[in-house]
């Protein structure tokens, strides 16, 4: 019985030095965005009765941000673990990261802008998580978008 030829794949070896400075910024900011989704994004106070808060997942579409943040972090771990990616992407790695972080920013911005309305003695405001999440989403996309925008401006 013959053995089928198997491709030898290099072993996973996590080395954060494989990550570029941009990768590190994107990873750190995306991790902060991920954590912010579990912090209070909106605060609610009832006139004279008390109050509460809801986290960043209040808007159901923010689960997309949660999944994309996990995907970005997993991708960066894989990138740090192999000299060469063990899979092919339909676009370049920077374009894939830009698309993911761009969508994260868009959804975080929409969630920030469309806070629940204050009605009938119920006051709704932003919580600390909303500010942290929005700043982190911006910080994750800027190192990827800035070179692209500069190259477009130079045309």
| Domain definitions of the chain by residue range | 18-150
CA distances from 117 to 8, 42, 50, 114 (A): 58, 11, 17, 8
3-state helix, strand, coil in the chain (%, to 5): 55, 10, 30
Residue 136 near residue 30 (C-beta atoms within 8 A): yes
Q: How far apart are CA 44 and CA 137, in angstroms?
A: 24
User: Chain-wide mean pLDDT for the chain?
Assistant: 88
Q: Does 60 have pLDDT greater than 70?
A: yes
Q: Does 23 have pLDDT greater than 80?
A: yes
pLDDT at 39: 97
Task: State pLDDT tens for residues 9-20.
Answer: 678 777 788 889
Percent of the chain, pLDDT > 70? 93
Residue 108 pLDDT grade (very low, low, confident, very high; cuts 50, 70, 90): very high
Q: How far apart are CA 106 and CA 155, in angstroms?
A: 26
Residue 126 contacts by C-beta under 8 Å, 6 or more apart in sequence?
A: 41, 42, 43, 112, 115
Q: How far apart are the first and last CA of the chain?
A: 61
Residue 5 pLDDT grade (very low, low, confident, very high; cuts 50, 70, 90): low
Q: Does 133 have pLDDT greater than 60?
A: yes
Question: Quick one: angle between helices 128-153 and 93-113, nearest 10?
Answer: 140
Higher pLDDT: 83 or 94? It is: 94
Average pLDDT over residues 128-150: 93
Q: Does 3 have pLDDT greater than 90?
A: no
């Amino acid at each position: 019985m013959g053995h089928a030829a198997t491709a030898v794949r290099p072993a996973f070896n996590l080395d954060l030095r494989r990550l570029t400075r941009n990768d590190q910024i994107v990873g750190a900011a995306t991790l902060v965005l991920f954590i912010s989704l579990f912090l209070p994004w909106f605060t609610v106070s009832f006139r004279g009765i008390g109050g509460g808060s809801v986290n960043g997942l209040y808007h159901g579409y923010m689960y997309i941000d949660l999944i994309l943040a996990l995907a970005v972090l997993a991708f960066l771990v894989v990138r740090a673990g192999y000299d060469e990616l063990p899979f092919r992407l339909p676009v370049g790695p920077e374009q894939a990261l830009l698309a993911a972080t761009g969508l994260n920013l868009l959804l975080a911005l929409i969630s920030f802008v469309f806070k629940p309305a204050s009605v009938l003695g119920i006051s709704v405001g932003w919580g600390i998580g909303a500010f942290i999440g929005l700043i982190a989403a911006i910080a994750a996309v800027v190192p990827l978008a800035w070179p692209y925008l500069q190259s477009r401006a130079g045309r």
